Structure 1
Amino acid sequence: MCQRPLLVPVILFGLITTLGCCFYINRVQSRDKSAIYQICQFDWTSESHETVDVEESVQFGAIKSGSKYAVFTSSLHGSEATDYGFDLPLTAMAWNRIGFGSIIIIVGDPQRHKRKPWVQYLMDTLADKEYIVVLVLKMVSSSQATSISQVVRLFATSLVRYNTSDVGIRDTYLLTADADIWPISRDFFVLPPGKDILHGNIGDLAVDGLRVIHAPLSYVGMKIQTWYSVMTLSGLLPMPKTIGEIVKYFGDKFRRNVTHGGEGWYIDQVMISLRLHQWKLENENGRKVYVYQRQLTKDRIDRVHWPTANLSLEGIVDAHLLKTSYQPNKWIRLRPLLRKLFPDNDAMRWYEQYVDRFNKLISWS
């Protein structure tokens, strides 16, 4: 695999800025739409901004022009790092099965986790797969890692744009996804003909009197050039000079990691929902947007009701994996699905070897 140095000019500062702005929406008293979007959308191309280089990060692999990629993330910090880390190569293989590569964003420095031998094993495993592109954001503190990993998918276009020499990647299709969800359907995730954006609808989202479609992060798909437009990003994502004041104002909310279901847990969905709404207003009122509908109780294999027998994939879109699926009592429940997706014996042997090695390394940590 190709390894190249990657300088990310303040991608984290951009994330903190945008995250803080979306938190601020709840405090806005104005009912004017433009006022709301002025708060949630910075003009990244303004001359009043400056670029600051930050600590070097690393990219493995290269983006291929015209290809399709699922984008998902994992943090090396926190109580669930092992759980999500184990899932990464398996989820990437599930995407590869239906014709997608994977852009995996690792938040945290693997070199700082030498007491966890499974981390290096994971990195080696990911780097060995030609359909996986890995972006490692090393400069993130443990207190911010979960928050960053939650929203960084929305900024994958900026990372990709900065870290590739291929000027033809604007037609590359990026789809946000989750590390612990496997795609099953071969057709569901593809951008329909004549459409620029694909996203879901889980109800209405009310922000200071404005009601928009609440789009889940799994799944939002569009080509890189459209991602630029939706997120109002320049290629290098410069840092606003006002970032110091913004971080000072919102720091207490962002400097500690979000917790499941707590304040800020869905901030990534709030952010993309508002961006999508604004883009639709400015682009033919959304006629080129395909909004899909889901019935999760029918079209998802869910971890809460994981099937124990008569597993059928008919009408199934995806599968939400069991937590700690590397544990023997969980792995044996996962094997029937693996058999369905990957009937080849060589693939199954690889999976068995992977989970066996992973468990041994965990026990040494």
Structure 2
Amino acid sequence: MTNIKQLIQRVQRYRFRFVLIPMAFFAFVFKFSYLTQVEDQSLQPLQLSTTRKSGERKVPINYAVFATSTPNGESYRSYDYAYNVPLTALAWERIGFRSIVLIIGSRCEWENEPALKLILSRLEERRGTAIFVDSPLQYRQTLSQTARIFVANMETFPGQNDDYMITTDSDLWPLRREHYIPRPGSDIVLAHSACCGYFSMNNKSYQHFPMSNIGASVSTWLQITNDNNSIVARDAESILDYLQEVFGEMARSPVVVGQPAWYMDQHIVSIRIAEWMERHPNQSVHRVSDNGFSRLDRPKWDADKLSPADFSLKFDTHLLLKGYLPSTHARIKPLIHLMYGNDSWETKWIEEYNQEFLSKIKNWVSL
């Protein structure tokens, strides 16, 4: 009995240890689990404010859409468009847009050719989306010009209905932000809409709108391209079928600069916008005024003579051909400095990309 009493007294004397030791153990386990979770989270990419979460409304994203055909070595412009892709994405990033690039050709072609693989990796650094449209060689030029307006139909299109999407070219850099941003209360934004006069088709006159640049919400683009049309254009064959309904055999004929097929992209979008306006007479279309502004164009390239004040009056630039060549790149550098600054990370990023690109093609083109 005495031994039992002594045992009870000892337990009562040290009972706090039986409580504290398990508590300490569980506290250690909880802290370790929490720190591990925090550490794991720190290794994950940060969620952007524009990322959609389940049940949560996000701020609409602005997208610029342009295209490039896969270089084949047969055209003097084989690399002009492709090389510009990451640089043009960076230029749109400068004014608050992400880029969607339609690549006419197969992903396999691009992932197995060093220069093209570099272009893809640099586009991804700019959070750009590449959508591949595989096609026979004879239709690639046509598709590189016309596929842009159908991008919202494509399976891997990243946007949603309330996002804003504007068409452009891979050799055009936007300079003046106010020319391209969405306008509250406007369903369509037309830049340079007074540039090109009118054209006739099937005894009807249409205003000619240039593809650089037409902006609208994704939902409006879907109405423009799909309403009252039996074909939903979402891949090479269906796009060609869609064009053939309007242009006949010209849709599948070779594209020659200055010939009628060269303007199919601008004519089809002009026709569809005119039809959309007729169906939606109460909707708003904003026509951006070019008054007081101009383009820095390749025929009269004088970037080295532009002051910051002159630069502020340029709405875009039509880039020099073969911009990757050292002599041409040197002529573009003054513009890069005006856009980003002499010692900015963007300027350094462009220089590094240019040098790496040259190293990939030095055996392919004459420098």
Query: TM-score, normalising length from structure 1?
Result: 0.73
Partner of 2:34: none
Partner of 1:231: 225
Q: Is 1:292 aligned with 2:288?
A: yes
Q: Is 1:347 aligned with 2:346?
A: yes
- Partners of 1:356 and 1:171 in 2: CA distance: 39
Which structure has the larger Rg?
Answer: 2
Partner of 1:319: 317
Partner of 2:32: none
- Partners of 2:106 and 2:158 in 1: CA distance: 24
Deviates more, 1:310-319 or 1:92-101: 310-319
Question: How far 1:289 sits from its partner (Å)?
Answer: 0.8
Question: How far 1:255 sits from its partner (Å)?
Answer: 3.8
Deviations 1:221-257 (A, max 9, x none): 00011111111259965888xx69x69x945x34443
Deviations 1:82-131 (A, max 9, x none): 1111111001000000001111111112423678421111112212332x
Question: How far 1:350 sits from its partner (Å)?
Answer: 1.4
Q: Is 1:123 aligned with 2:120?
A: yes
Aligned residue type for 1:305: K
- Partners of 1:190 and 1:158 in 2: CA distance: 22
C-alpha contact (below 8 Å) 1:73/1:153 kept by paired residues:
yes
Q: Is 1:100 aligned with 2:79?
A: no
Deviations 1:242-294 (A, max 9, x none): x69x69x945x344431221231011111011111111111126x50112343
**RMSD of aligned alpha carbons:** 2.9
- Partners of 2:101 and 2:144 in 1: CA distance: 11
Question: How far 1:76 sits from its partner (Å)?
Answer: 0.4
What SS is found at the alignment partner of 1:217? coil
- Partners of 1:325 and 1:316 in 2: CA distance: 20
Among 316, 334, 337, the residue aligned to 2:335? 337
- Partners of 2:63 and 2:257 in 1: CA distance: 27
- Partners of 2:87 and 2:62 in 1: CA distance: 18
Question: How far 1:63 sits from its partner (Å)?
Answer: 8.7
Among 86, 110, 115, the residue aligned to 1:89? 86
Q: How many residue pairs end up in the alignment?
A: 292
Deviates more, 1:192-201 or 1:272-281: 192-201
- Cα 1:361/1:172, change in 2 over 3 Å: same
Q: Is 1:212 aligned with 2:206?
A: yes
C-alpha contact (below 8 Å) 1:73/1:104 kept by paired residues:
yes
What SS is found at the alignment partner of 1:353? helix
Among 72, 75, 82, the residue aligned to 2:66? 72
Q: Is 1:263 aligned with 2:260?
A: yes
- Cα 1:103/1:115, change in 2 over 3 Å: closer
- Partners of 1:141 and 1:63 in 2: CA distance: 36
Among 123, 146, 154, the residue aligned to 2:149? 154
Partner of 1:19: none
**Identity, % of aligned pairs?**
27
- Cα 1:255/1:230, change in 2 over 3 Å: closer
C-alpha contact (below 8 Å) 2:226/2:232 kept by paired residues:
no
Partner of 1:183: 174
Aligned residue type for 1:289: V
Aligned residue type for 1:140: S
Aligned residue type for 2:170: A
Aligned residue type for 1:315: L
What SS is found at the alignment partner of 2:178? coil
- Partners of 1:345 and 1:89 in 2: CA distance: 17
